Chain A
Amino acid sequence: MNRLEAMDAIAAARGDAAAVTGPGANSGLLYEKADSAATLYNMELGYAAAVALGVALACPQRRVLSIEGEGSFFAGSTVLSAIWRLRPANLVTIVLDNEVWGTADGLEPSATAFGLDLARLALAIGWDEAHVHRPKDARELGARVAAALKGGGPHLIIGKIDPQQDRSSASGNRARPKRHILDCAVLMRAALTGDG
């Protein structure tokens, strides 16, 4: 699948889930396709899943998504242990893996281009197969996200993005959120708690 198809599928399934996106293309695309107040865009590299974990623990009645690329996710992948240890049922962690770093010219291969398997990493950390998903196309990705958002989490969903079809890998080609990160945080807290 390509990134646009993947983000269309995620946007269609999002509903009222709070979301934290990692740095890069996923942030701008989610903003364009399924923005809502409870969204934190362009979280720093390595931290989207951990911030989402905190939101999920604080708001157990609210569905919570994190969406980031494999470079960012792997940089903060120790959080897989904390997520599995704490097991928030309302948390869905999505990784879109295109095997290149989504910066500069978008041509620098990331760890998954050399054999890193993030699903196997999660299993090695202790996750079970029932909570680790590897959808093969955008339709299956959308269905997986929709099902995961119904509960029974935590869920880890890893979608492979074809780097040949991913024009958003290079920094200059991508959409960007049109809301400052400060405003995002204020709006998100207000949306989740009623307190700005």
Chain B
Amino acid sequence: MAGKENTVAEAFVRGALRGGIDACVYLPDSCLTPIIRAFQKDNRVTMIPCAREDEGVAIAVGLHLGGRNPLCMMEASGIGFSGLILARAQVQRTPVIIVASHSAGAGEPFDYHSASALLSEGVFSGLGIPYEVAADSGTLEALIFRVVQTSKGQRTSFGLLVPPHVAAGVEG
């Protein structure tokens, strides 16, 4: 399992770097930790830990205004904290890319992720922020590249939800 997680993480980082990502604002998350660790190993990416996810989104807004290309990694619960600052980012056309675990779809076995799963897509939908739910670990590298591409080109924030089995590289 650990090997598959790392393979998925390395592919994700390749796609993000190909898109131009050069900074990662993050809070630890069990599903996304292999990706965070993979970013930490790459000295082309500035790693910025924060205390709350909305704080992290605000830091990402500043990074973008200063010319950097950040993404934010978080558990989907943090999207709930981030509604206001995401709305501001969208109004002022400062794109923020959110990569978060958990969605309202299949593959969520634990009750304690229910609230996170419920809110993530709702916040994105409510704010008119485009988002995708990753369905296949094998296409994650291309997907994150295209998310970055669209976020830059359309000057919009973008959400990418990565269910636990996709981050873990579990097929079937």
A residues with a Cβ closer than 8 A to B are: 20, 40, 43-47, 50-59, 62, 76, 78-79, 81-82, 85-86, 181-182, 184-186, 188-189, 192-193, 195
Contact = CB atoms under 8 A, between A and B. Distances in A.
A50 B61 CA distance: 9
A121 to B, nearest CB: 13
B92 A20 contact: no
Contacts of B93: 182, 185-186
Contact of B62 (A46, A50, A184, A193): A50
A186 B92 CA distance: 8
Interface of B: 23, 46, 48-52, 54-55, 58-68, 70, 84-85, 87-88, 91-94
Contact of A40 (B54, B60, B65, B67): B65
B84 A44 contact: yes
A57 B23 CA distance: 10
A82 B92 contact: no
B49 A54 contact: no
Given A50-B58, A82-B59, A58 B49 contact: no
Contacts, number: 111
Q: Which 10 pairs from chain A and chain B are nearest by CB? A: A54-B62, A58-B66, A50-B58, A193-B67, A185-B92, A78-B51, A47-B58, A55-B62, A54-B63, A51-B62
Contact of A57 (B52, B66, B94): B66
